[in-house]
Amino acid sequence: MAKPFTILNVNGPYREPHEPAFSYDYAVQRPNWPTPHGVRVKVSIAEELDYLKTTVLGVSGGSPGQQLRLTQMLTRRIADRKIQIANDEGMFAERFDVMIAPFTGQLTHLFVLLQAWMNEAKASLRQEIHEKIGI
């Protein structure tokens, strides 16, 4: 049940203070809404980021600066994909402040969709990491 939307602005990553996750704040506009609204997307460090980084991509090593840039790049890609999945699932179809939690626990069924994207994007992500970060 995907409905068209436009991302006007993205801020982050922010480190969530009470859970092992990073988050991004999206300003989302739909054609029939008079004003945009906020959607916070959380990326679990262990279940989503580390899974992509180590299991799917097999990336390791690099300087602390390279690791920081890698984390920023991968969390943003994951968050962008998660907002697409959430839109397809109708999770923010109405104008409410929305928080899209990590795809664990009650949202584990959506991790399969994220995992499929990770495997599809593996080659392009590796190339981007090599070109932009040098790992």
pLDDT tens, N- to C-terminus, the chain (135 residues): 568 999 999 999 999 999 999 999 999 998 888 889 899 999 999 999 999 999 999 998 889 999 999 999 999 999 999 999 999 998 887 767 689 999 999 999 999 999 999 999 999 999 999 999 998
The number of residues making up the chain comes to 135
Q: Where are the domains of the chain?
A: 6-132
User: According to the model, what pLDDT value does residue 135 have?
Assistant: 87
Secondary structure element (H or E) that encloses residue 123, with its range = helix 122-132
User: According to the model, what pLDDT value does residue 61 have?
Assistant: 87
DSSP three-state, residue 62: coil
Q: Any idea what the Cα angle at residue 57 is, between residues 39 and 89, rounded to 5°?
A: 30
Q: Is the dihedral of CA 105, 89, 39, 122 positive or negative?
A: positive
User: According to the model, what pLDDT value does residue 90 have?
Assistant: 87
